[in-house]
Amino acid sequence: MTLPTIPDSPLWSASGKRTVVMILLVLALLLLFRIRILLLPLSLATMLAYLIEPLVKLLDQYVPLPRTLIILLIYLALVVLIISIPVIAIPPLVSQSSIFISNMPRYLAQIGPFFNEPIVLVEGYEIPIDELPFDQVFASLSTNLVNIVQTLGGRTLTIFSSVATVTIATVGWLILILIISLYLVKDHDRLFTTILNLAPESYRHDIHQLGSQISLTWNAFLRGQLLLCLVVGMIVFLAATVMGLPNAGSLAIFAGFMELIPTFGPVLAAIPAVLIALFQSEVSWLGDLMSPFWFGLLVAGIYALIYQAENYILVPRIIGYHLKLHPLVVLLGVVAGASIAGVVGILLAAPSLATIRLILRYIYCKLNDTPPFTKGHEVLEPVETAVIPKLPLLPEKRTETAEEVNSARDSARTAAQHHE
């Protein structure tokens, strides 16, 4: 009996392998371009999974329930929270924001006469700003500024007001984000191990280390930034309440939201509070004890003190130094992110730049034949709060060399001839 001859499978050359890789890379980029509408929900689902994962780990340690049931209960509570927020929080926020926006033209109109008189510091000492052309410059800017504030404010209020009556498409996207994030939380160990086993064995350690550093960066930003928003918002609310500033809730929410904008967010958050202090000082018990100028200066100083405490106390303890970037780099990243992805690009500019820095550092080290994970940069153990775990690799089929393949073919042919 003659056994069928095993056909020879030609081995790919190095140039052929590079060609196939390039073709697959181009096809992958084309596919990403075609499904770019899914990139935003995938990004939001991944961020949501990052935020929920620590809570799942904490409850899994102390609650005698299966992990899957804990995850389902957390997402059920999240759905209830999403439904209740528009009913409870948005109406008073819309009301306070509407009052502030409607008063903005009056605030700006009152700034004009402010430049027509000198600023009296104490009796006998004053700043002669009336001799400077500030009034002319402000007059040319105030009209455009009023239009911008009213336009943006009107759109913002429209968005807030329509949250309770969202379209079916919005609900569909929200459900998709929740489902994707649920699976990411539930099966991220398996997903990461599968992706890791696709890489060549010699590069798996590098991929794991680089992935751990990137995960630590995004973990520090997402969870740390959320905590910073809550802490700064509460501090601003308490400070505004103690000083008697109106719209303390809106100021706190605005300050917390501005924390998401790197470098420039705190400055933007202080502007509404200073304007209110300048032109509604009589409403505050503290502002009634001093002139509007000094009350506005006091509010600006309190905001500066809050954000200095944030930079030197809160940020190092909550976020650390994983996102420490030069302000010019952050500015360019914010501009680029706004042009690429709008508001989401602005919010994610800092962690994206930090991730690119890690990848470029790895490439630079490999090009210069230096160790990419030296002491101080190497992550020897996985971060406890990071999504990426350190898992045993799945069994992988060993890749045979060309010599072993040819030897096996010769042996098969010899055995077939001997059998004949």
pLDDT in tens, 138-157: 555 555 555 655 555 555 55
The half-sphere exposure of 154 on its side-chain side, counting CA atoms within 13 A, is 6
Alpha helices in 348-378 (DSSP H): 349-367
pLDDT-wise least confident of 6-15, 21-30, 228-237: 6-15
pLDDT in tens, 156-185: 555 555 544 455 567 778 888 899 999 989
Cα gap 334→348, rounded to integer Å:
8
pLDDT in tens, 209-250: 888 888 888 887 888 888 888 999 999 999 999 998 888 888
More confident residue, 191 or 8: 191
pLDDT in tens, 321-348: 667 677 778 778 888 887 777 777 777 8
Cα gap 330→152, rounded to integer Å:
24
Cα gap 348→342, rounded to integer Å:
10
Per-residue pLDDT at 120: 59
- What is the average pLDDT across 241-269? 84
- What angle (nearest 5°) sits at the alpha carbon of residue 258, between those of residues 252 and 259? 95
pLDDT-wise least confident of 12-21, 62-71, 96-105, 262-271: 96-105
Spell out a b/e string for 384-405, using b for 16 or more CB atoms within 10 Å of the CB, else e.
eebbbeeeeeeeeeeeeeeeee
Cα gap 101→328, rounded to integer Å:
32
Per-residue pLDDT at 195: 83
| Distance from chain centroid for Cα 336 | 15
Per-residue pLDDT at 334: 80
| Residue 122: its H or E element | strand 119-122
Per-residue pLDDT at 235: 94
Amino acid identity at 292: P
> What Cα–Cα distance (Å) separates residue 199 from each residue in 52, 196, 205, 373?
28, 6, 10, 18
Per-residue pLDDT at 371: 87
Provide the whole-model pTM.
0.62
- What is the average pLDDT across 271-276? 86
In the numeric block, which tokens belong to residue 374? Answer: 């030296």
| Residue 127: its H or E element | strand 125-127
Per-residue pLDDT at 395: 44
In the numeric block, which tokens belong to residue 267? Answer: 């400055």
Share of the chain above pLDDT 90, in %: 12
> What Cα–Cα distance (Å) separates residue 52 from each residue in 44, 75, 179, 350?
12, 9, 13, 21
Residue pair 126/118 in contact (Cβ under 8 Å)? The answer is yes
Mean pLDDT score of the chain, rounded to an integer?
A: 75
Per-residue pLDDT at 330: 77
In sign, the C-alpha dihedral spanning 85, 88, 94, 99 is negative
Per-residue pLDDT at 53: 87
pLDDT in tens, 115-139: 666 665 556 666 665 555 555 555 5
Contacts of residue 229, defined as CB under 8 A and 6 or more positions apart, other chains included, come to 256, 257, 259, 260
Confidence band for 354, pLDDT divided at 50, 70 and 90: confident
Asked if residue 417 has pLDDT above 60, the reply is no
Per-residue pLDDT at 140: 57
Cα gap 8→316, rounded to integer Å:
62
pLDDT in tens, 58-116: 898 888 889 999 999 999 999 888 877 766 666 666 666 666 666 666 666 666 566 66
Cα gap 413→122, rounded to integer Å:
106
Cα gap 306→324, rounded to integer Å:
20
> What Cα–Cα distance (Å) separates residue 151 from each residue in 203, 259, 283, 360?
53, 23, 27, 41
Closest residue by Cα to residue 94 from 40, 24, 172, 157 = 157
Spell out a b/e string for 323-337, using b for 16 or more CB atoms within 10 Å of the CB, else e.
bebeeeebeebbeeb
Per-residue pLDDT at 393: 42
pLDDT in tens, 294-309: 888 899 999 999 988 8
Per-residue pLDDT at 46: 86
